[in-house]
Structures are given as structure tokens and as C-alpha cells.
Amino acid sequence: MKKVAKNIFYIALEICMIFSIIYIFKYCYDIYSTRRQSNLLNEISIDDIASENIENTENIENAENSENSKVDITKEVKTERMLKVEKLKKENSEIVGWVEIEGTNINYPVLQADDNSYYLTHNYQKKYSKSGAIFLDKDYVWSPPSSNLLMYGHDRLFKDIIKYKDKSFYNKHPNIRFTTNEEDANYEIIAAFYSRVYYTSEKNVFRYYYFVNAKNEKEYNEFVQNAKKASRYDTGKTAKYGDQLITLSTCSYHTKDGRFAVVARKILK
């Protein structure tokens, strides 16, 4: 009996070791995959981008020289970064842009699916990943654009968002950059705050995660006012009705179902 028990113990131990190795492998691969996401733009050939830029420029010049051309010659030549995003979209059409906060770990592609759950567990290649990907709320409409680019990400990707709890961090990183294949824009942060997912029975609470498109000016202004009221500090910046907003949201463990969010407005050129 002792021998049988001993054998069962060793078998159980071996099974535990196998599962532990598998878990460690998956964890390490997930970290590798996450780091690779942030380096995607650098992996795209500069030479290819340059040649595409030249081709675009030639198209515009040809349009200017052709009286009957229907090409819109007022359209700006795309920046290198915009062209890189365009290339990424060929790999996955659900890649809608790239979000970056200079000097932080936030430097990732942004995806948008038909639901807000898929990219919680899948990366930009649509492969299973515990870290998921940064994704834009499914309800955001591009044309005409909704009021608020509401983006979500697990804390493994968006961990630096929580550092905005301190004004000193904000002072060093006051802007968010968001690039699509059509635009390369900067947003200035107007608020940073702790929150949580509220129960449906709770009244008079700020559910920032429901705000994507303002029905009217009043709703827009209420969102901005509530965000600034909830903010950990005054950034000295605000937004007015019609300004494009961007909100980055991630999990926070200060309370059950906690969240931390940063809201910013687009800087007009």
C-alpha cells in the first residue's frame, strides 16, 4: 500500500510539474507577445514607407497637372506613421489605429470588434492572449465621428495609466498620441480619476464607461464636468462641445471592480 501511495504521489507531482511548465511557458509567451505588439511600428520597413510616400506625392502632382482628374488634390500626403498603420490594417482589418504616450509603456495598436469582449482575450493577430489587446468601444462610429474614443485595456498593457494618479507623472506626460491611417493627432489630458463599475441600482454616479457619443451639448458638458470633478487634480485644461475626446480605461485594484481612467481632448492644429 505504501508503494502504491508513493507511486500515486510521484505521478501527481509529475502532473503538477507539467502543468506548471505549461503555465510558465504561456505566461512567458504572453509577455513576449505583449512586447512585440509595442514594437510593431518599428518592424515595418522604412524604405517601403518612403516609396509609398513618393508614390502618393506623384499621384497628387499628376492630379494637379490633369484638368480632368477626379483625385482630391487637397488631400494631405500621409505621414510615415499613418502609412504604417495602413499596413497593419492589411494584417488585421480590425486594427483602427495606434495609441502612444511618449516615455511610457503605452505604445500599442488599437482594435475594434463587434463586441467588447473579444479583444479582452485575443491579441492583434486574433490569437488567444491573457493580456488581450487595446480596443476601442464597439459603439464608436467613425463617420461622422462619435464624441469620445473610449479605449479599454488590461492593466498589463495599460498599467502606466494608473501612474496618472500623481500629478508629477501627468506633468511629464501631458499628451496622448493617436494615429489612424487618416490622421495623426495629439490629445491633451484634462482629467485622471479612480472609478469602478457601478451596480445598476446605484443612482447619481458617474458611469464614464457609457459615454461614447453625446446626444446633445448638455450630455457632452456633463461628461466633461464630471470627469474634471472626479479628477485627482486640476490639469488646467478642459474641453468644449464639439471637441474630440479620448478616454483610456483600465482595471484598478483600489476597490472591487475598480477602474482608472484618463480623459483628453484633441489639440487642433
Amino acid symbol at 136 = L
Radius of gyration for the alpha carbons in the chain, expressed in angstroms and rounded: 23
Distances (CA, A) of 263 to 10, 29, 140, 231: 54, 32, 16, 9
* pTM, entire model: 0.80
Instruction: Supply the pLDDT for residue 118.
Output: 97
Residue 206's CB: how many other CB atoms inside 10 A? 18
Confidence band of 126 (pLDDT split at 50, 70, 90):
very high
C-alpha cell at 184: 495623426
**Residue 130 vs residue 135, higher pLDDT:** 135
Query: DSSP letter at 190?
Result: E
Predicted local confidence at residue 48, as pLDDT? 56
C-alpha cell at 94: 480590425
Q: Is residue 56 over pLDDT 60?
A: no
Average pLDDT over residues 232-259: 97
DSSP 135: E
The pLDDT value recorded for residue 62 is: 55
The whole-angstrom separation of Cα 197 and Cα 207 is 7
Specify the pLDDT at position 43.
74
Across the range 165-174, mean pLDDT stands at: 98
Residue 221: other Cβ atoms inside 10 A: 15
- 78 or 135: whose pLDDT is higher? 135
**For the chain, which residues make up each domain, given as ranges?**
96-266
Could you tell me if 235 and 171 are in contact, meaning their C-beta atoms sit under 8 angstroms apart? no
Arithmetic mean of pLDDT, 143-149: 97
Confidence (pLDDT) at 25: 47
Sequence-separated (6 or more) residues with CB below 8 Å from residue 179: 79, 81, 82, 85, 97, 98, 100, 185
266 φ/ψ angles, rounded to the nearest 5 degrees: -70, 135
For residue 51, pLDDT beyond 60: no
Band of residue 57 on the pLDDT scale cut at 50, 70, 90: very low
Separation between Cα atoms, residue 125 and residue 108, nearest integer Å: 13
Judged against a pLDDT cut of 80, whether residue 220 lies above it is answered with yes
Residue 126's alpha-carbon distances to 23, 112, 181, 215, in angstroms, are: 20, 12, 20, 33
Average pLDDT over residues 76-98: 91
Answer yes or no: are the C-beta atoms of 112 and 176 closer than 8 Å. no
pLDDT digits (tens, 9 = 90+) for 60-80: 445 445 545 444 444 567 888
Q: Which CATH class is domain 96-266?
A: mainly beta
- Of 23-27, 168-172, 182-186, the least confident: 23-27
